């Protein structure tokens, strides 16, 4: 995936989630251990969101690309975010995935709430 298609997918996911009522907090939060694509509030729930885009299912779909190692990196990075942003610790957390498949001209978006757990 090129940088431009990754940015396009994150922007599409961000726009979609804002339309669903989520409040954006941070995009592309990075730590030494990993990156979280989007961090948002869904009412009072702090949501860490992984965005995955696949133009084709030929090498596996976007869901399969979130393997256990990727989940561990997200969990570690989320823990770091919580420690460095103490105000967030009063909120319950959730880990979601936005899966985008197909050509950019006609993408299919699937929002999976609670895609994995800590």
Helix, strand, or coil here: 6? helix
pTM for the full predicted model: 0.89
65-to-9, 61, 103 alpha-carbon distances in Å:
15, 7, 18
Helix, strand, or coil here: 69? helix
Over range 36-47, report the average pLDDT. 97
Q: Are β-strands 93-101 and 45-54 bridged in parallel, bridged antiparallel, or unpaired? A: parallel
Nearest to 28 by CA among 12, 51, 61: 51
- For the domain covering 3-116, report its CATH number: 3.40.1350.10
Taking the domains of the chain in order of start, what are their residue ranges? Answer: 3-116
| From 24-28, 48-52, 78-82, 105-109, the region with the lowest mean pLDDT | 105-109
Say if CB 50 and CB 96 are below 8 A apart.
yes
**Stronger pLDDT, 55 or 67, i.e. the higher one:** 67
Is 50 exceeded by the pLDDT of residue 12?
yes
């Amino acid at each position: 995936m090129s940088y431009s298609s990754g940015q396009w997918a994150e922007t599409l996911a961000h726009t979609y989630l804002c339309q669903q009522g989520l409040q954006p907090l941070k995009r592309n939060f990075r730590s030494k251990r990993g990156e979280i694509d989007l961090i948002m509030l869904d009412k009072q729930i702090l949501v860490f969101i992984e965005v995955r885009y696949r133009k084709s299912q030929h090498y596996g779909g976007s869901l399969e690309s979130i393997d256990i190692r990727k989940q561990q990196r997200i969990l570690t990075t989320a823990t770091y975010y919580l420690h460095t942003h103490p105000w967030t610790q009063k909120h319950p957390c959730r880990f979601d995935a936005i899966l985008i498949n197909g050509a950019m001209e006609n993408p299919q978006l699937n929002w999976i709430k609670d895609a994995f757990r800590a």
